[in-house]
Amino acid sequence: MSQEKNMSDDQDVITGIKAPVYLKYNFTAGAAPARFLAQIKKGVLTGQRCPKCSAVYVPPRGSCASCGVATEEEVVLSDKATVQSFTIVSIPIPGNPIQPPYIIANVVPDGANISFIHLLSECVNEEIHIGQRVQAVWKPEAEWDYAMDNIRYFKPLDEADVPVDRIGKLPVTGLEG
Amino acid sequence: MSQPEILNQAFELGYTYTRSTGPVVGRFLTELKKRNIVGIKASDGRVVVPPMEYDPDTAAELSEFVQVGQQGEIVSFAWVKEPRAAHPMQVPFAWAMIKLDGADVPMIHCVAAAAESDIATGARVRAVWADETIGFITDIRCFELV
Amino acid sequence: MKQIAIVAYQQTDSVSDAGAVNEVELIMPVLARTFKQAGLKSAQDVGFTCSGSCDYLQGAAFAFVAGVDALGAVPPIKESHVEMDAAWALYESMLKIRMGHADSALIYGFGKSSPGELPIVLSQQLDPYYLAPLWVDSISLAAMQARIMLDRGLITERDMAEVVSRSRRNAMNNPHAQLSGDISPEDVLAEETYLSPLRKADCCPVSDGASAMIIATVEQAKAWGLPYVIISGIDHCIETHNLGMRDLTDSVSTRIAANRAGMNAGKVDVAELYAPFSHQEIILTRALGLDEGTSVNPSGGVLAGNLMMASGLSRIGEVFNRIVKGEARRGIAHATSGPCLQHNLVTVLEQGENA
């Protein structure tokens, strides 16, 4: 594997080796993720509802982690969401092309009970707060693929904040619905 | 609920590790770089190639290096008709357990041979060195039939 | 010391490619059937949960954590994981019960080997300085082991073909088997070699699937009112990683583990042996001193389907099934890990009062 020179403490004595391991795989999305990805390719966010506790998961993995049962009922969600938590990233992360500072947030789409992580933009970083209303900014339709980054980021909405105890509990119609 | 499409994505996972050799493996690899093969004496006097740091039977720390030959005898082999992409040779070859002259324990490496019928248990082989040696097990490119 | 018993066992079919199924989706149905068999609802109803899997198989880091989503782990449960076959998860679970930390345990193993190139993935469990960088695959190592046996006259190719034939025929009665059929030794011998001296039929297939088991103290099993099979002994033993220093024609570690587990305290009616290659079944049978009085691999063994990280647990489950059905009173199950039977675990199972 390694055609490069190995490490040595002088010209003659080997004290370390480079031994990289590269393995090839063919990843297959599970049934629930595949259905989610097929919908997001059409610009639709879908979750799955637990038959026992009614929690709606997005993106769904096929089970309710609380109850340990299969989630099958699919639920179309809004692309409006609420910020559940966030962090302002001020340092460059190796391999990440996004220039700091930027915001990573846990957002809960209306109609779902579980947050997912995405970017926030078109905002004043210092003004973002928990309970902030946001909406997805989508790529042009021609670029949609089986991918979460069909949504470029979420941007603030001019709507009233969601009280902390209602975050993750909004219907698909939002705070007023 | 609709049947899901099957979505596949090929990917390569890389673990770009470096490893410290310690004195025993380091000595072996240092010698390989010089196109020389050394083993180590186990507690019962058997010469083990490549050298181990500790005796598997007694757990004693081993330190007595022994020069061994660059030729040896095939103890067992497997004939690879269809090499895999990761394999060190991309034409049919053999993996073999090779007992080098002066060693008591066989080592595993690959053997170049034109056909399965050319190779046999007991056959004599010799080390073929890489064009450039760097202190790595592949400094021995392969073994070839004598 | 509290006696521990198996009360439930289930496995998925062994398939060459599970397709659009993630870890949770692979595990959940088999867990649901296992809970149902034991009359339980979720992992909340057992005292401990332990799983066995290996993330290298499908190349997904911490995939075993996703498996926890199948358990119903809210409120939090006592849970552990081994990066090994789930037979070793059973071992850990028994220790947990013996220490008095639980009265029952759920054990499950799962493996999705189809996404990767399994024999090459397994090369990376070898010595990282001398062998892993050469990418010596697991089948080639087994082929060298088989040749030593053949060269020394310890086995013939026909002996190996008979193992394959018996596996395929036994597997016709195993609804979960991946490879089965009325194949004669002659049919096997007519195949050309694949990785000489091995034929393809001498090698276990690459499989996807999962298995699960519930164990409990005998008191708990009785309280649940379930038929149970007692685990009267379990032990495991490992040999050096240096293949050149091992006697590859024998399995000393299996014999030691079996003796310590108490195999010889009674007649062995059935033995399920984890032999991924045909010649290894012969090595194990001889190392354990089994004779015609023991039915070996009536399920077909792993030549009929090899669920990496689950088939060791499945061997134990298969013996449990035989004893519960009354086809055997006492049996042993063997699990293995590493190249050429490096690490071996033996479990002794005996009929409980109400099995």
Q: pLDDT truncated to tens, each residue of chain B (146 aa)?
A: 556 678 999 999 999 989 999 999 999 999 999 999 999 999 999 999 999 999 999 999 999 999 999 999 999 999 999 999 999 999 999 999 999 999 999 999 999 999 999 999 999 999 999 999 999 999 999 999 99
Pick from C260, C286, C240, C234: nearest CA to C94: C234
Domain ranges of chain A: 31-166
Pick from C274, C240, C236, C271: nearest CA to C257: C236
Neighbours of chain A (3+ CB pairs under 8 A): B, C
Beta bridge partners of B93: B80
CA atoms within 13 A on the CB side of B18: 11
**Using one digit for the tens of pLDDT, what is the confidence trace for C31-47?**
999 999 999 999 999 99
Number of domains in chain B: 1
Partners of B86 on chain C (C-beta within 8 Å) are 117, 120, 123, 135, 137
Residue A10 pLDDT grade (very low, low, confident, very high; cuts 50, 70, 90): low
What is the pTM assigned to this prediction? 0.95
Residue A7 pLDDT grade (very low, low, confident, very high; cuts 50, 70, 90): low
Burial of B145 (0-12, 13-18, 19+ CB in 10 A): middle
**Using one digit for the tens of pLDDT, what is the confidence trace for C4-22?**
999 999 999 999 999 889 9
Chain B contact present for A5, CB below 8 A = yes
| CA distance linking residue C39 with residue C28, whole number of Å | 16
**Using one digit for the tens of pLDDT, what is the confidence trace for C231-274?**
999 999 999 999 999 999 999 999 999 999 999 999 999 999 99
Residue A1 pLDDT grade (very low, low, confident, very high; cuts 50, 70, 90): very low
Partners of A28 on chain B (C-beta within 8 Å) are 6-8
Most C-contacting residue of A63, A66, A71 (CB-CB within 10 A), to test interface:
A63
Structure tokens at C111: 């493996």
Q: Does B17 fall in a domain?
A: no
**Using one digit for the tens of pLDDT, what is the confidence trace for C104-113?**
999 999 999 9
Contact C134 B110 (CB under 8 A): yes
Cis peptide bond prior to C115, omega within 30° of 0: no
Burial of A164 (0-12, 13-18, 19+ CB in 10 A): exposed
Enter the ipTM: 0.97
**Identical topology for domains C4-117+206-224 and C232-349:** yes
Pick from B14, C8, C271, B126: nearest CA to A21: B14
Chain A nearest CA to C71, separation (Å): 5
Domain ranges of chain C: 4-117+206-224, 128-202, 232-349
**What are the C-alpha distances in Å from C106 to residues A65, A120, C90, C102, C226?**
17, 42, 9, 11, 15
- Number of Cβ within a 10 Å radius of residue A93: 10
Partners of C141 on chain B (C-beta within 8 Å) are 78, 95, 108
Chain C nearest CA to B115, separation (Å): 12
Say which CATH topology domain C4-117+206-224 has: Peroxisomal Thiolase; Chain A, domain 1 (3.40.47)
Chain C contact present for A3, CB below 8 A = no
Say which CATH topology domain C232-349 has: Peroxisomal Thiolase; Chain A, domain 1 (3.40.47)
Return the pLDDT at C63: 82
DSSP line for C177-194: -SS-----HHHHHHSPEE
Percentage of chain C beyond pLDDT 70 is 99
Closest residue in C to A50 (Cα) is C72
Question: What is the domain range of residue B62?
Answer: 22-145
**What are the C-alpha distances in Å from C354 to residues A80, B46, C72?**
59, 55, 31
Chain C contact present for B143, CB below 8 A = no
Chain A nearest CA to B36, separation (Å): 13
Contact B107 C244 (CB under 8 A): yes
Return the pLDDT at A2: 43
Partners of A28 on chain C (C-beta within 8 Å) are 19-21, 115
Structure tokens at A59: 């993106």
Chain C nearest CA to B28, separation (Å): 10
Return the pLDDT at B3: 63
Nearest by CB: C240 against B56, B86, B138: B56
